[in-house]
Amino acid sequence: MTHYGTRLSCDEVEELLPLVIDGVITEADEPDLFCHLAECPQCQASLATHDLITFALAPKQPLHMPAKNHGHYPLRLSWLAAAAGIIAMGATGILWLGSSPQSAQTLSAQEHTGSSSRMSSESNDLEVVQILRPGPGREQPLFVVRENGRIVVLPSEDLDGGHYRSTLDHPAPLPDQPRHIRASDVRHIGHFD
C-alpha cells in the first residue's frame, strides 16, 4: 500500500478505477486520485488492464459504414442543370417574343381616326400608316409613315404638330434592303423603299 504523496492508497485507487474508466470521476473531481495514477506504475498498469477488459466486454456492434452513393448526387446535379437550361431558354424566348415588333400589339392609324392620317410638309405628303406602341426603353410611340412612296419609321420627336421635321438627309437605299415590306416587320428606325 503505497501512498505516493497522496492520501489515497493503491487499494483505494483500485476501487475507483472503473469510475475513472467510465468518465464518472475526472481530474477536477479527484486531483489526489489522478496524482497517484501519475506516479504509481502499479496503478497505471491496473488502469490499462481495466481499460482493455472494458473494451473486450463491450457489446460488439457492427460498424455501419454509410453505403456509397454511386451516381445519385451527380445525377441530381445534371437534372438541375438541365432544368435550369430549359428555364433559361424559355425565359429568353418569352422576352424575345415580347420585344419583337411582329408579336407586339400595334395600333394602326385607321383604328384611331377611322382612316389613314395625312400630314403635309412644305414639299412632302406624309401618310401615317401605323403607330407602333413604345418598346422596351422607349416612352414615345414610333410612327410608320409613307413619304412620297417611301416607308419611313419616325420617332414621335420628328413629328411636330403634324409636320415632319426632317432630321435625316434621306440617303439612297442600300441594295440589300427589301423593296416591299409590311410595317409590322420594321425592327429599327430607318428608311426603306
Q: Does residue 128 form part of some domain?
A: yes
Copy the grid coordinates of residue 127: 401618310
State residue 127's pLDDT score. Answer: 78
Of 20, 35, 57, the domain-final residue:
57
111 in the same domain as 46: no
Between the CA of residue 75 and those of 68, 79, 168, what are the distances in Å?
Answer: 14, 6, 59
Q: What is the pTM of this model?
A: 0.29
Q: Does residue 76 form part of some domain?
A: no
115 in the same domain as 188: yes
Cβ neighbourhood burial of 13 (10 Å; 0-12, 13-18, 19+): buried
Q: Which residues pair with 163 in a beta bridge?
A: 160
Q: Does residue 171 form part of some domain?
A: yes
119 in the same domain as 53: no
- Distance of alpha carbon 175 from alpha carbon 190, whole angstroms: 14
Of 20, 41, 57, the domain-final residue:
57
Of 42, 57, 72, the domain-final residue:
57
126 in the same domain as 51: no
- Distance of alpha carbon 149 from alpha carbon 165, whole angstroms: 18
CB of 109 closer than 8 Å to CB of 116: yes
**In which domain, by residue range, is 21 found?**
10-57
Q: DSSP label at 104? A: S
Residue with the larger pLDDT of the pair 78 and 114: 78
185 in the same domain as 111: yes
Residue with the larger pLDDT of the pair 69 and 91: 91
122 in the same domain as 53: no
- Distance of alpha carbon 17 from alpha carbon 19, whole angstroms: 5
Q: Which residues pair with 130 in a beta bridge?
A: 108, 144
What is the pLDDT averaged over residues 143-153? 78
Per-residue pLDDT reduced to its tens digit, 1-58? 555 556 788 988 888 888 888 888 888 888 888 888 888 989 888 888 876 666 666 6
Q: Does residue 84 form part of some domain?
A: no
Copy the grid coordinates of residue 157: 420627336
Q: Does residue 64 form part of some domain?
A: no
Which of 109, 106, 110, 147 shows the shortest CA–CA distance to 126?
147
Q: Does residue 149 form part of some domain?
A: yes
Q: Does residue 91 form part of some domain?
A: no
DSSP H/E element including 48: helix 41-57
State residue 73's pLDDT score. Answer: 61
180 in the same domain as 121: yes
Q: How many domains does the chain have?
A: 2
Copy the grid coordinates of residue 154: 419616325
Q: Does residue 5 form part of some domain?
A: no
Per-residue pLDDT reduced to its tens digit, 113-126? 333 444 444 445 66
188 in the same domain as 131: yes
Between the CA of residue 115 and those of 109, 129, 141, 185, 191, what are the distances in Å?
Answer: 7, 10, 19, 21, 23
